[in-house]
Chains A and B, each alone.
Chain A
Amino acid sequence: MGFKNFCFKKSLWVFHFGGASCNNCDIEILDCLTPKHDLERFGILLVGSIRHADVLLVNGSINMKDKNRLLEIYNQAPRPILVVAIGACGCTGGLFADSITFAGPVDKIIPVDAYIPGCPPKPEAIIGGIVKLVNKK
């Protein structure tokens, strides 16, 4: 188990699900991959297909249309999969919590392993959240 877990921690591939966000969180997530923060040095890669992913990043408020898509994406992911909710919208609903199309924060729809609050969270906060998640496992 030790070796398996070690390899898993060392090579987290990330799939990014953007809900109905205001787009700030998406930009901060992309910022983590830029030269200044460079998440690839921890083996973290952004992948294009959910079938290759180990971590599902969800940001933005989840509205009624996104809900089914999020569920579908989550069910298609190969296990084990970790889910990270990013931003105030992902964690609680934030700014959009009272909107009529709001369909619940992420953890009402799928189980969430880590929350990274902030509106938007800084790239450092996102990295910090991922480090905590990896150490918890």
Chain B
Amino acid sequence: MAVNLFYFFVFPGLLFVAVTGAFLSWFDRKISARVQFRKGPPLLQPFYDFFKLLLVKETILPKQGSPMMFLMAPVFAVFGAVMAGVFILLPLFNITTGFKGDLLVIFYLLTIPSFSYIMGALASGNPLAAVGGSREMKLILSYEFTFLLVIAGIIMKCGQHFDLYTIIQTQQSGTPFIGSISGVLLFIVGIFCIQAKLAMVPFDMPEAEAEITEGIFIEYSGPAYGLIKLTKYIMLFILPAFLIALLMNGFRLNGINILWAVLKVLLVVLLITLIRNTNPRIKIKQAMSFFVIWMNLLAVFALVLIAFGY
């Protein structure tokens, strides 16, 4: 029991993912600033933002709508993100959970933050939040199936194993899955799914700040918005970590390999940031056809290649 609580709150759980995610969020903002020839924020900026929201600002409850749901949604979001983080990071740090089938649990846990955003947005009673919520829902409908196809590809590749620990071990004893044609295709599809899950720029229509003024988060202020920021930091860490576990060999924690692990995370985040900085926001219709037609085709093509052993 005590060790489970430790897992949840301290080591791969809340504290660790939050701090790492905050640093990655700084990295993301700094790289964006460098891409635009600016200097960018200081290292501790995400912490200042979070503590300001948590300690200084007040939370305003919307007059129309359901305050209970509105306030619970960010808590659910943090909970889902941390649970997913624990399930992803335990196998990554070579701690076996003995849980056969955690891949599907992770898949469901990763959707909890998006669903809680939608619930919070709809509970706020704001029309712009409702627009954002419906866009987020359409986005989920389009990328979830693609993401499932990526996971199915990984399961096929490692020989019908549903647990992350075995997948990582299979790659570490052989070659990483990204070292084959199908692996590269799965990686491309996966990175776009992550981009949409993080709601980063080509797919940020739920919170388009110039168009519907932050959409789903429009009514949040103070500590509740702080929790949403925290969820965003956590997701920015665990989604790249998940992709690394699935395709890029996981982490190895001895000697120089620790450096490689850090570099792998930074590389995936860098890729996401560059995609975000070099693309305009697309319409929700375009995003849906992008995933439902093109990304699904690519993923199915990768599955066929895997079936033939490439």
Contact = CB atoms under 8 A, between A and B. Distances in A.
Contacts of B36: 35
Contacts, number: 84
Contact of A35 (B38, B48, B218, B221): B38
Contacts of A100: none
Given A76-B60, A78-B59, A78-B60, A38 B213 contact: no
Contact of B214 (A35, A43, A52, A78): A52
Q: How large is the interface on B (under 10, 10 to 19, 20 to 34, 35 or more residues)?
A: 20 to 34
B283 interface: no
B56 interface: yes
B127 interface: no
Contact of A43 (B42, B209, B220): B42
Nearest to A12: B52
A10 B48 contact: yes
A41 B55 CA distance: 22
B225 A47 contact: no
A93 to B, nearest CB: 29
Interface in A21-76: 35, 38, 40-41, 43, 47-49, 51-52, 54, 76
A73 to B, nearest CB: 12
A11 B219 CA distance: 19
Contact of A48 (B41, B51, B59, B210): B210
A11 B45 contact: yes
With most chain B CB atoms within 10 A of its CB, the pick from A3, A35, A43 is A43
Contact of B221 (A4, A8, A48, A52): A52
B188 to A, nearest CB: 31
B100 interface: no
8 contacts: A7-B48, A7-B52, A7-B56, A11-B49, A38-B40, A40-B38, A40-B40, A78-B221
Interface of A: 3-4, 6-8, 10-11, 35, 38, 40-41, 43, 47-49, 51-52, 54, 76, 78-80
